[in-house]
Structure 1
Amino acid sequence: MTKAEMMDKYFDSYGKRISSAEICKAVDSIFKINLDEIPILSKEMEGAVGVSFSTGNVLASREAMDVRLNQYDKEITGAEIRKVINEILGVNLDAISSLEGARISLYSKGQWVVQHEKDLFVVDTGAGDVDVKVYPTNYFTEQTGLVKLPTDLQHSLTSIGYSYDEKIGSYYFSNPTGEAVPDAFKGKTIGAILKVIQYSFSN
């Protein structure tokens, strides 16, 4: 059972209107992600939900979720809850769930979202998700002797807009608009990495 399915099962059995506090508790329990530490995605989103985020206001994300949840006139599904979380906080739990077992570590919003001992590559998103770094794990280097990404992955990432940054030793992309990198671009990044893992490191 995937983590998304576990979340669905949890809320299906909940049997009443759900609050942001219960959502945060479930996400922390199932995904090990603390939503209270994640700021609202954008000023536009703050205005849309009628709350403002300020440094140290850890309840802003809960307030924003409660405003959105109150717009539902029926019991909300796990899939709808994940959509709300992604819209407000930029945390795509469906995508995170799909990474289980993929051998890709994900560092986002200041915390490890997915990380396992034998992961091969890291996708690291910066503050506000406006930039992304991709680099090999220590395990990958220990197993292959390579300190850089495989050549085929370098080419794949370059083709979608990444460039190698020697200062940080990573392939790097920064959204020129200054906005969060779209989910579609993150999907292309993950897809490029998965393709290399499938063809070269699947045994």
Structure 2
Amino acid sequence: MGTIHESARQVLQAQVEFGRLREEAWLADSLWSWQWWLLVALLVLPWIVWWRLVDRKRLSEICLFGMFVLATASWMDEIGTDLILWYYPYKIIPWYPQLVPINYSVLPIVYMLIYQYAPKWSSYILAMVVMSALFSWGAEPMLAFMGIYQVVKWKFSYSFPVYLLIAISHRWLLERILATSRKYGGQ
């Protein structure tokens, strides 16, 4: 195994110190705060609602779509936090830089429900434009007001095309996968 270069050792030491400080701040400021409880609710409650509303005949298809959204949201959030475009003063757990309730619950569930209830592209795009606007200029500013989400080098308006691009590209991709699957004998 190779040796660790001095610059890599410095990065590792900084990460260890950052992890310690992040955990201390979480214990002192986040855990059990009303923001923490709100995040817990945003992680759990949408799944309960979704389970009541999901079309179980299309469960695999809808879940695959939701997993695409979840993976993309998490990946993009990781990049955004690493580039310090935004950060989250309140989190459910201190060891993960992303806003888990949004990436793993709210976003995939809203996208899945729109995907389920808007079967035509025209109604789907219209619903996604409305959702993108509500998230960009409603939900994100509200989370910022509550201190849960803090923008650094990002503007809420930047999120609108991102939400819409995720919606269009992921539906297009899923339709290609489903068509290929049917062509080769899948369901």
TM-score range, shorter chain: under 0.3
Richer in helix (by share): 2
Question: TM-score, normalised to structure 2's length?
Answer: 0.27
| Bigger relative CO (Cα 8 Å, ≥ 6 apart) | 2
Question: TM-score, normalised to structure 1's length?
Answer: 0.25
Richer in strand (by share): 1
